[in-house]
Structure 1
Amino acid sequence: MATEMSTINFVGVDISAVYPTAIFPRNCNFYNEDFLKGVSQPDDTFDVVYQRNVTCGLTFENWQQAMKEAFRILKPGGYYECVESDVTIQNAGPQTNVVFEHLRMSMATRSVDPSIVRSLDRLMVAAGFTDVHVKEYCVPVGDWGGKVGQLWQMNMFAILETVRPHLAKAAGCSETVVQEVVQAMYKETKEYRSHQVVYAVYGRKPLSPAQ
Structure 2
Amino acid sequence: MNNNNNSICNKSVHKKNVQHPLLINFGENQDGDGFDEFILDTFRFVGGRRYHNVSSSKYFLPNDLPEMDRLEKQHYLFLHIWRNNFSAPVREKIITKRKSSLHMAFEYPSAIFIGVDISPIFPSEQKKPDNATFLQNMLDGLPFEDDTFDFVYQRSLASAISEDQWKNDVIYELHRVTKPDGWIELMEPEFLFSKETDAPNCHKFSRALLGFLATLGINGFISSQLENILTSTKLFKNIHCEERSTPIGQWGGRLGEMMCNDYIESAEACKPALSQFIGISHEKFDSMLENIRMEINQNRLYYKTRRFYAQKA
TM-score, length-scaled by structure 2: 0.58
In the alignment, which residue of structure 1 is the partner of 2:252? 145
Residues 140 and 202 from structure 1, CA distance in 2 versus in 1: closer, same or farther, beyond 3 angstroms? same
- 2:261 and 2:113 map into 1 onto residues whose CA distance is 23
Q: 1:185 aligns with which of 292, 296, 310?
A: 292
Q: 2:177 aligns with which of 73, 79, 102?
A: 73
RMSD: 2.5
In the alignment, which residue of structure 1 is the partner of 2:76? none
The alpha carbon displacement at 1:104 in A equals: 1.1
Q: Is the 8 A contact 1:38 1:69 kept in 2?
A: yes
- Unmatched runs of 5 consecutive residues or more in structure 1: 207-211
TM-superposition CA deviations, 1:117-163 (whole Å, max 9, x none): 21111211233122111112112223432454345445534543454
Q: Helix, strand or coil for the counterpart of 2:225?
A: helix
The alpha carbon displacement at 1:203 in A equals: 0.6
In the alignment, which residue of structure 2 is the partner of 1:99? 205
In the alignment, which residue of structure 2 is the partner of 1:113? 219
Q: Is the 8 A contact 1:59 1:112 kept in 2?
A: yes
Residue identity opposite 2:239 in structure 1: V
The sequence identity of aligned pairs, in percent, is 25
The alpha carbon displacement at 1:204 in A equals: 0.9
Q: Is the 8 A contact 2:178 2:312 kept in 1?
A: yes
- Tell me whether 1:82 sits opposite 2:186 in the alignment: yes
Count, aligned residues? 204
- Tell me whether 1:42 sits opposite 2:145 in the alignment: yes
Larger % of helix: which?
Answer: 1
- 1:68 and 1:158 map into 2 onto residues whose CA distance is 33
Residues 75 and 176 from structure 1, CA distance in 2 versus in 1: closer, same or farther, beyond 3 angstroms? farther
- Unmatched runs of 5 consecutive residues or more in structure 2: 1-98
Q: Which sits farther off after the overlay, 197-206 or 142-151?
A: 142-151
In the alignment, which residue of structure 2 is the partner of 1:19? 122
In the alignment, which residue of structure 1 is the partner of 2:239? 132
In the alignment, which residue of structure 2 is the partner of 1:209? none
In the alignment, which residue of structure 2 is the partner of 1:32? 136
In the alignment, which residue of structure 2 is the partner of 1:164? 271
Residue identity opposite 1:103 in structure 2: L
Residues 68 and 137 from structure 1, CA distance in 2 versus in 1: closer, same or farther, beyond 3 angstroms? same
